[in-house]
Amino acid sequence: MTPEHLLAVMEATWGPAATSALGPWTIRNGQGGGKRVSATTAEGTWQDTDIPQAEAAMAGLQQPALFLIREGDGALDQALMARGYRIVDPVVAYAAALAGMTQPPEHMTTFPHWPPMAIAADLWVEGGIGPARLAVMERVQGPKTVILGRAQDRAAGAAFVAIHDNVAMLHALEVTPSQRRQGSAHNILRAAAVWAQQNGADTLSLVVTVANDPARRLYASLGMTIVGQYHYRQK
């Protein structure tokens, strides 16, 4: 998977409410759905004097000045740093071929479904994933599902999975604190892989912050490898 393909999948499976081209910039209207759907990217040749144009567009959307810095965006990264932008949430992307991940989870530990059941929405709200991010899920086109995880006869976690161009991407993985280290995240990942293969995908991918060591160990244990990285610059 190339970095360009990864970003296309990310945009299709967790996208903004609207995008607009403004000179060399792609401006995203996230409507409160988080950094990924609100960040501006450079899509053409830009100059330092073009940055205020992007800043004004984001201010017009009542969004903070936020740029997504991909591989190859080193010059923009330096220009933003010189303007006082700080690095926020460095992220790594993982992916794996589904052929090696489709061992089903234990019986009755996961439940794929759509639209989200109230218990899944409640679990997300507890983890800070509120209505604006649920709206991101609603507007995704194509195959999608929620994986509800259970442990000790209780709802334990949830994740959203969607497919674009034969690649499934998992988002919004949340396990309630009292149910962590019970295997729920592992089961949710397994269920996501099974669902994705049944719906025509051949690859499972996800993104995670560099600092989230427990999650990264889990993904590596399932045979997932790093396929890309990016970070944000915020004023």
Query: pLDDT tens-digit profile of 3-14?
Result: 789 889 999 999
Would the pTM count as exceeding 0.85?
yes
Q: Which domains does the chain have, with CATH numbers?
A: 3-92 (no CATH), 95-229 (3.40.630.30)
DSSP states of the chain as a string? Answer: --HHHHHHHHHHHS--SEEEEETTEEEEE-TTS-GGGT-BEE-S---GGGHHHHHHHHHHTT---EEEE-TT-HHHHHHHHHTT-EEEEEEEEEEEEGGGT-PPPPTTSEEEESSPPHHHHHHHHHTT--HHHHHHHHH--SSEEEEEEEETTEEEEEEEEEEETTEEEEEEEEE-GGGTTSSHHHHHHHHHHHHHHHTT-SEEEEEEETT-HHHHHHHHHTT-EEEEEEEEEE-
With pLDDT > 70 as the criterion, what percentage of the chain qualifies?
Answer: 100
Query: pLDDT tens-digit profile of 34-76?
Result: 999 999 999 989 999 999 999 999 999 999 999 999 999 999 9
